[in-house]
Amino acid sequence: MGSIVEWATNPWGQSVPIHIGWVMIWVCAFSAIAFAVVHALYLAVFGKPKVFAVNDTPEMVNSIPEKVVRHGAVARAFHWIMATSMFTLLFTAFLPKVGVKFDWVTYHWIAGLVFTASIIFHIIHASFFLDFWAIWPDRTDVRDAFRRMQRFFGKPAPLPARFSKYPLENKLYHSTILITGLTAIFTGLFMMKRVNTHNIFTRNPYLFGDMTWGLMYVMHGLVGVSLIALVFVHVYFGIRPEKREITRTMIQGWMHKEFFLEEHDPARWRPGKDTDTPLTPPSEVPGD
Ligand code: HEM
Ligand code: HEM
């Protein structure tokens, strides 16, 4: 039986952690697959269309263009560069552990540096050029989560409002990926001191003691396996039929007005205000 952490004895006879038990790869992969299967079956059997409180004025509706820009070109470029480096990190880290042997370390740290650079860029872009508050839960999200839960249990509750730019689930997902992603970067950058980068970075395996190094590898491994599950679930939602319009916005940039008005509240998300998603008149929409 594998365990969560693998231990070894150092030259001084101390027991130190060296990395996670690789059985965790399977635990995370199977949990993610099980979640997707149960979720898909539940929706197929009990799924109902979403209902929201809507009170748009005709002026509000008229002010929305036929194509609402959701992700500008820069945000889309960031997303796909970051995603490519993330898949490279996952495959280079875990394929060798499940039997596909190759010299993975060099590819892994190079992808790690690309991932790090893309996140540094993203933090600056999202903080100063996009709407910084768009991705964090607000009071209305919390109120509506409570209302949805009450309605789910058959209790009377007012209808929830439509979403702002991101539904609560996306905001919570972002917070989780932010914690795991930044932890992988923080520990990964220190771990660069242990590997041979052909003199691009100086090696110093004695920077920390065995115990600290061990815990760092364990932390890197734990967030790494969590990312298997997080990325899998993200892709599962991305390919679900009712989410395709949202996924398409990460490719083409815009969503249809109809979809916008069904799921997004123009009073909570004014595309074009404080974001790089200008409210373009229908005659000027990109991609026509
Ligand atoms: C590993 C870490 C992270 C990943 C993988 C990640 C990924 C993403 C993705 C895919 C989006 C949606 C696309 C977009 O609008 O660009 C997004 C939006 C956003 N992220 Fe991150 N992010 C991370 C860390 C951070 C951090 C540390 C911050 C800020 C301190 C941040 C702030 C934002 C904001 C404000 C948005 C919303 C922008 C808007 O749509 O107006 N992210 N993030
Ligand atoms: C975000 C997704 C990432 C995942 C899933 C991941 C996963 C892993 C795994 C499982 C290991 C093997 C640990 C061990 O053998 O105990 C590892 C090692 C390593 N990772 Fe990552 N990692 C990620 C990000 C990063 C980043 C951002 C960097 C660098 C900036 C990085 C640099 C390294 C280094 C230098 C090693 C050590 C290789 C060695 O000592 O042989 N990783 N990673």
**What pLDDT is recorded for position 2?**
67
Residues 6+ apart with CB under 8 A from 194: 203, 205, 213
CA distance 68 to 256: 6
Alpha helices in 98-167 (DSSP H): 105-128, 139-152
The answer to whether 96 and 106 are in contact (CB under 8 A) is no
**C-beta neighbour count of 223 within 10 angstroms:** 21
Sign of CA dihedral 243, 135, 256, 286: negative
**C-beta neighbour count of 148 within 10 angstroms:** 15
Q: 260: part of which helix (H) or strand (E)? A: helix 257-263
Q: Residue 72: CA atoms inside 13 Å, Cβ hemisphere, count?
A: 16
Instruction: Decide whether any atom of ligand 1 lies within 6 Å of the 86 Cβ.
Output: no
**Tens digit of each residue's pLDDT, the chain (288 residues):** 468 999 999 999 999 999 999 999 999 999 999 999 999 999 999 998 889 999 899 999 999 999 999 999 999 999 999 999 999 999 999 999 999 999 999 999 999 999 999 999 999 999 999 999 999 999 999 999 999 999 999 999 999 999 999 999 999 999 999 999 999 999 999 999 999 887 888 899 999 999 999 999 999 999 999 999 999 999 999 999 999 999 999 999 999 999 999 999 999 998 764 444 444 444 444 433
The answer to whether the pTM exceeds 0.85 is yes
- Cα-Cα-Cα-Cα dihedral of 283, 267, 76, 104, to 10°? -160
**β-sheet bridge partners, residue 9:** 15
Pairing, β 254-256 against β 15-20? unpaired
Instruction: Decide whether any atom of ligand 2 lies within 6 Å of the 255 Cβ.
Output: no
Q: What would the CATH number be for the domain defined by 19-284?
A: 1.20.950.20
Residue 107 C-alpha from the chain's centroid: 22
**What pLDDT is recorded for position 272?**
60
Q: How many angstroms is it from 79 CA to the middle of ligand 1?
A: 9
Ligand lying closest to the C-alpha of residue 121: 1
Q: How many angstroms is it from 6 CA to the middle of ligand 2?
A: 16
CA distance 19 to 142: 38
CA distance 134 to 268: 10
**What pLDDT is recorded for position 286?**
41
CA distances 113 to 72, 78, 89, 98, 102, Å, are 24, 14, 10, 24, 20
Instruction: Decide whether any atom of ligand 2 lies within 6 Å of the 112 Cβ.
Output: yes
Name the 3-class secondary structure at 254: strand
- Strand runs (DSSP E) across 57-113, as ranges? 67-69
Atom 31 in ligand 2: which residue has the minimum CA distance?
188
* Amino acid code (one letter) for 152: F
Ligand lying closest to the C-alpha of residue 185: 2
Query: To test ligand 2's pocket by mutation, which of 16, 97, 191 has the most ligand atoms within 8 angstroms of CB?
Result: 191
Ligand lying closest to the C-alpha of residue 205: 2
Q: How many angstroms is it from 173 CA to the middle of ligand 1?
A: 10
**What pLDDT is recorded for position 270?**
84
The tokens for 164 are: 């702002």
CA distances 2 to 22, 26, 160, 210, Å, are 7, 11, 46, 22
Among the listed residues 127, 140, 130, the one whose alpha carbon sits nearest the alpha carbon of residue 167: 140
Q: How many angstroms is it from 127 CA to the middle of ligand 1?
A: 9
The answer to whether 204 and 197 are in contact (CB under 8 A) is no
Q: 16: part of which helix (H) or strand (E)? A: strand 15-20
